[in-house]
Structure 1
């Protein structure tokens, strides 16, 4: 969760400044309208953006912890991305389920939000289904695991669980 917050800190600073400005306006004029306008942005940022990505990565970690071949899990953070990287051995099935766990958990929460609690937050979670497309990390991992599963059914496979060729030496 902290890594996700650190990735969006400029947005949080901007929202904080807007809220302080709105609170100042309220104190000076007695008009609390601007403060009320900042609340939906905080809700979308904290519960939608940060909450959905924290759930996404937490679901990957929760599934990876159940895989006996995984020896450690590393959190990788760049300016635009937060992801987890396992160290160890995953079967093609485990790699595919791990790839689906993050977006899948968000999509399930998104549908439940849409149906029961808050339809304004649902799109933040439902949009995580896009990450299963091949241009994204989860989608690429899913394709690699399906290729590895297909190749491992052939005799004398020279492909590991991630779909990469093994070094013959």
Structure 2
């Protein structure tokens, strides 16, 4: 998957580059190639990127340690701010950061790496915890009933010191 030159996206028809793909993504261990559709729309001050993609990967169940195949699918979109990064020499020594400042940004004259963006989106879609479909359910025990019997006997003397209300 080639990187997209951002000024060229702005000059495209409807300022949008769209493409289908079917390939393995570096760093993502999958059984089948990732296949889907990506659309990158240049909206002046930001890019709107959307994708639908799916693949199959092998996961290890966190409960049983048995491996199982999992269909990983995404249908997502993200806005990426276009702004020139500050040179490191102009960074303030201390700076208050607003939650609105915590957005991804790219240089307006740089490149958008669709493969890296897809890798990030797919990695975020991997379930946590990874539980196999045939894993046994957890047994929940009522711990409040056993609380008095599980108290360390060395603390029993302190219970006689309780203040009355």
Q: Common fold, TM-score beyond 0.5? A: no
- Structure having the higher Rg: 2
Higher relative contact order (CA 8 A, sep 6+): 2
Q: Which has the higher helix share?
A: 1
TM-score, structure 1 length as denominator? 0.23
